[in-house]
Amino acid sequence: MFKRVLIANRGEIALRIQRTCRELGIETVAVYSEPDRNARHVREADHAVCIGPGAALESYLVIDKIIDAAKQTGAEAIHPGYGFLSENAALTEACDAAGITFIGPPGAAMQAMGDKVSARKLMEEAGVPVVPGANDIDINDLETATREGERIGYPLMVKAAAGGGGRGIRLVERAEDLADAMRAAGSEAASSFGDATIFLEKYVSPARHIEVQVMADSHGNVRTFGERECSIQRRNQKVLEEAPSIAVTPEIRKRLCDAAEAAARSCGYRNAGTVEFLMDNDGSFYFLEMNARLQVEHPVTELVYGVDLVALQLAVANGEAIPDDIGLAEPHGWAMEARINGEDAYNNFTPDLGLVEHVELPTGPGVRFDTMLFAGLDVPVFYDSLLGKLIVWAEDRELAVKRLRRALTDLLVVGIETNAPFHLALLDHPDFQSGNFSTGWLESTFEMPPQPEDDPRQRTALVVAAIAASVAGSAPAAGKSGGGRTKWLQATREHAIGLRVQSGGGGWRRRDIASK
């Protein structure tokens, strides 16, 4: 096995990969940008190399800096995590040239799947159903696009061949909006991915987003690990995932896994990958795309299949065969993951940043929290809003919902807003509880309840933090964004003059601390 692995990523996924490495006795090398200097992934690594300023284009996305860091520290392999360079074939080539093992698929398989149009063609050849659409659309040829649009029918999706992370996708309801959507998707794709190639897809609705975890080794084994249900989405991005899916029977699971295996075999895939499908109400499904990397939501699969996917990635990259007894059984129990984002659920989910003044992390039976959070973390502006993933396992779905609800109420974050109130409201929704949702449900049907005038969780958090500050002898520094820190001042002031506590009836009343 490798002695030392460089992790070319940050945040919760860098920490998650480090943990498995530590268990296997592998030393880790962290890379970090200047604003990430105090991040947990830096502190917990055996070695750490600064690779430049905050902008990812000048640090986490610079292949030469990553390769240099690996050479400098004697790392034999590079794990790319997700996002950043994870699906960049140039990194696999640079690794090959430097004699470093890339923990992921071969560059050719990555390229074949990274382009959604080429992936659609491969799937058609492999006999896997794809979403009806038109593959080769010239962004300037409105005439052909209009003709193809008529054939496919409306509504339809204009999508970027290089798209990812929900970007480069436009829904078109009527033919007269096609030209605008093509321009918008094309220019978003050009600026995000440097490639304006687009294609058209029928809009499948209502549909569920169902994806299959795949692992392939260099001995011809392709193993699948059932499905994940990822239909709870905002702006085409997942916010809560579960395994298994309430809509998938053992018979459908078998068909999904066979299709995913065919997808992996069609491109000579190796290592971990995910094949995404859209599934109709009647259980027929269509290939959407293949993500050639470890996925954000991989932990729900780990919990119901009893595997460590990162350990398998390392073994497979090291040339070992996937053990015979892994991934063959049906899923055991139920797992659910809430993506905890730094964003204000009551304010249209606008991202929130800055200093995390106090945190209490959920724990206890069946709870796993993969997170970069700690008190003192200054969430930088440069990266996405994912702070962590709160994952639970329970015997069945109903218990998993209850457990996730409990874990969410145990989570306290002071200093920045998180979307935990959203997750709590979601878990309480009858449609969610009955499993009656599709990819459009969250945005079309779910409504965020109004912010409680006095949110008991937030109140508790502020009180706890205020007490901590007063024990420490002073209120914490005002921080740079004065306005955002007023909660602190308010909380410490209230601590001094009296605390609001929740009354038994659910309302609020003010109690003088001195009278207690």
476 binding partner (options ligand ADP, Mg ion, none; Cβ < 5 to 8 Å by kind): none
Q: In terms of Cα–Cα distance, which of 477, 464, 438, 394 is closest to 206?
A: 438
Q: Which stretch binds ligand ADP (CB under 6 A): 144-152, 292-300, 315-323, 373-381?
A: 292-300
Q: Which stretch binds ligand ADP (CB under 6 A): 24-32, 234-242, 258-266, 425-433?
A: 234-242
Interface map 305-344 toward ligand ADP (x if CB under 6 A): ----------------------------------------
Q: Tell me if 388 sits within 8 A of 340, measured CB to CB.
A: yes
- Which residue of the set 10, 40, 228, 293 is catalytic? 293
Q: Which stretch binds ligand ADP (CB under 6 A): 119-127, 203-211, 300-308, 485-493?
A: 203-211
d(CA 275, CA 226): 11
439 binding partner (options Mg ion, ligand ADP, none; Cβ < 5 to 8 Å by kind): ligand ADP
Angle between helices 142-152 and 178-193 in degrees, nearest 10: 110
Name the residue nearer to ligand ADP (CB basis): 191 or 486.
191
Quick one: tokens of 50? 């600064």
Q: Which of 59, 101, 291, 458 binds ligand ADP (CB under 6 A)?
A: 291
Q: Tell me if 29 sits within 8 A of 4, measured CB to CB.
A: yes
Asked if 88 touches ligand ADP (CB under 6 A), the answer is no
Q: Which stretch binds ligand ADP (CB under 6 A): 103-111, 287-295, 356-364, 447-455?
A: 287-295
Residues 266-285 that bind Mg ion (CB under 5 A): 276
Verify cis geometry, omega within 30 degrees of 0, for the bond prior to 430. no
Q: Tell me if 386 sits within 8 A of 370, measured CB to CB.
A: no
Number of H helices, E strands in the chain: 17, 25
Residues 419-448 that bind ligand ADP (CB under 6 A): 439
The one-letter amino acid code at 291 reads N
d(CA 86, CA 421): 31
139 binding partner (options Mg ion, ligand ADP, none; Cβ < 5 to 8 Å by kind): none
Least separation, in Å, of the C-beta of 200 and ligand ADP? 9
Asked if 295 touches ligand ADP (CB under 6 A), the answer is yes
Count CB atoms within 10 A of the CB of residue 165: 15
Cα distances (Å, whole numbers) of residue 221 to 26, 124, 146, 302, 489: 25, 22, 44, 19, 59
Name the residue nearer to ligand ADP (CB basis): 57 or 513.
57
Judge whether 223 counts as a catalytic residue: no
Tokens 């490798």: give the residue: 2
Asked if 238 touches ligand ADP (CB under 6 A), the answer is yes
DSSP assignment of 18-51 equals HHHHHHTT-EEEEEE-GGGTT-HHHHTSSEEEE-
Q: Which of 33, 233, 371, 418 binds ligand ADP (CB under 6 A)?
A: 233
Closest chain position to ligand ADP (CB)? 83
The DSSP letter of residue 194 is: S
Interface map 160-199 toward ligand ADP (x if CB under 6 A): ---xxxx--x-----------------------x------
Beta strands 77-79 and 101-102: pairing type? parallel
d(CA 492, CA 130): 58
* Catalytic residue ranges: 293
**Which residues make up the interface to Mg ion (CB under 5 A)?**
276
* Binding region for ligand ADP (CB under 6 A): 82-84, 131, 157, 163-166, 169, 193, 201-205, 207, 209, 233, 236-238, 276, 278, 288-289, 291, 295-297, 384, 386, 439
